[in-house]
Structure 1
């Protein structure tokens, strides 16, 4: 089996297949998904970079070490183990780097936690950051300014401007309204943890949601839960009581919604028992649509909600492609935002 056969079955050139294998980021996500599905169906496994014919990509003089750092703004790397969505982003990053014969270094950095020594000493070629660098010390920021940086799943950072790769939040909002409207819902609720409306880019999701709802003659209200997305992954009775109090107050105001879009699966998992305790039958009294498609968080919910897939693996792959491009084109100064379209999974 060869790359030529994959190209023939996919109806594309072998160059396009090569770009998908090497995560070069210039192929439409729908086409890339089709090519990967065909490769899996026919059992085609690309050769590792070291065994491919032609020059190895790592021989590019732009890359000195073959290492990329993934930094999370936290005092501990435990934050990554608590977030299924970020595990998927990391998978995409690792796969893309491996296809280029490169390695990834994980690290946490915060106000009290310094940069990993390998980063501080210039032992990496570039840095991917999640979600921001707000709490990083001035000393660490000076070091990071020497590198090319790409943010994933984050909003605008004023401390260090750089390229960003994220889901298209406007499309997420419109997809949510379209789905709930198709279910006959006339009164919509948009329920989100406060951490997901505090960043500029995430406001696009609500703006698109409320705008399309208005266009279709539907009413839409927003309910903000005073929690961070990561707090929702913990078992905390006081926080759960706060969620219950906020939701009850929201439902008591105005007309009760018949359709609810919850902006992350972690919050959906918290809302299910609360809604049932209020006598609301999900699927009959209230249609729920979730987001992120984190299956481990939705397991056990009955009825299991539909969840929008924001394609975290593709976000990871495109982050690597953009960082490699940025390292190879250091003269380019303007920053770009790459948006990955969400998918609707039923």
Structure 2
């Protein structure tokens, strides 16, 4: 690990081969962790140089409890497979959350609940003052009547990050999906592309759907011929949802694109995440199609650890996940200070385009 890179709790979990929630329980001295696992986690943290967030006086003005200490904040991942928290865009936002909480002198407790079927003790026992939530981005949340977890969550100040289902309650911090779609459409237009496509291998995913609508709308505004390649919507969804997209879905859509005549085939494809862009590169390679020559590709997230070895290097949207995490903390602290404000709020971070080599000039 580079000395210049700040080590996060997700790095410790990945290196130790355990879940993020397990690392959190070890650091908070929970007795339900196997001693050998706890020792491995502590050794890994020491080897990586991980510096745990501790309760201490912050450099900024911080709301305090009666005993003078700042209250704990919880992060809850739920409804998704454990691998969700290892996705670079998620771990980067967590790094932003950690650094911001550290500056405010607050401790961090983490729970990962793939099935959404239990309530973490730090919530049920009232040991946190606020929550940051990362839930599933497909389907619907259950009602509070059917979910003990949500009943507890909604009683505490909370903020969702990077996706909030339509029936979810509370504030939300995300990147501006309309701006992301606009930036890609304008970039392809400036590069001379007249036929463009959006490839959606996971319909109903709220982030993908928002970017899709924005991109196709702005492409139409610019006079571009926009095509949508999309697999059928899923049937009934059951938690935990998979954190990654099926390669087969990307393969099917790539084949549909390749089967079009050269005169009508889109010359550029926008695919809504870097991980799915990796899958698209693989699909195109199997078809002996060259990115940047036979077709241009643009993606979203700017997950450098995923795309650094792609050739040509991937043009993508930087959603500034670290800043999303930091602004989520700011909004949560505001919400904690204004519990009577009933109107939910959205904080949108302006994304930026990172130009590399995957888009040709026509």
Q: Could you tell me the TM-score, scaled by structure 1's length?
A: 0.75
Instruction: Look up the match of 2:333.
Output: 324
Instruction: Look up the match of 2:252.
Output: 245
2:78 and 2:115 in contact (8 A); partners too: no
2:125 equivalent to 1:116: no
SS at match of 1:245: helix
CA distance in 2, matches of 1:175, 1:154: 20
CA RMSD of aligned residues (A): 2.7
1:62 and 1:328 in contact (8 A); partners too: no
Instruction: Look up the match of 2:226.
Output: 220
SS at match of 1:101: coil
CA distance in 1, matches of 2:291, 2:299: 13
SS at match of 1:231: coil
- Which deviations, in whole Å up to 9, do the C-alpha atoms of 1:282-322 show, x marking residues without a partner? 21221111111111211321111111100101110111000
Of Structure 1 and Structure 2, the greater helix share is in 1
Instruction: Look up the match of 1:230.
Output: 243
Instruction: Look up the match of 1:38.
Output: none
- Structure 1 residues 304 and 76, CA gap change in structure 2 (3 angstroms): closer
Instruction: Look up the match of 2:209.
Output: 203
- Which deviations, in whole Å up to 9, do the C-alpha atoms of 1:232-283 show, x marking residues without a partner? 3xxxxxx434432332124324611111111100011011122122232221
CA distance in 2, matches of 1:78, 1:203: 22
- Which deviations, in whole Å up to 9, do the C-alpha atoms of 1:128-185 show, x marking residues without a partner? 1112582685222222221011100113342x41000111000000001111112211
SS at match of 2:57: helix
2:339 equivalent to 1:335: no
Unaligned runs of 5+ in 1: 1-47, 233-238
Deviates more, 1:68-77 or 1:318-327: 68-77
Instruction: Look up the match of 2:36.
Output: none
Unaligned runs of 5+ in 2: 1-54, 235-240, 356-362
2:94 equivalent to 1:69: no
- Structure 1 residues 51 and 209, CA gap change in structure 2 (3 angstroms): closer
Instruction: Look up the match of 2:318.
Output: 309
CA distance in 1, matches of 2:68, 2:277: 43
2:93 equivalent to 1:89: yes
SS at match of 1:274: helix
Instruction: Look up the match of 1:272.
Output: 281
Instruction: Look up the match of 2:304.
Output: 295
2:80 and 2:243 in contact (8 A); partners too: no
1:152 and 1:315 in contact (8 A); partners too: yes
CA distance in 1, matches of 2:171, 2:188: 33
CA distance in 2, matches of 1:252, 1:62: 68
2:72 and 2:127 in contact (8 A); partners too: yes
SS at match of 1:150: strand
2:199 and 2:253 in contact (8 A); partners too: no
CA distance in 2, matches of 1:63, 1:291: 43
- Which deviations, in whole Å up to 9, do the C-alpha atoms of 1:82-139 show, x marking residues without a partner? x110000100101111111001111123546412111111100011111258268522
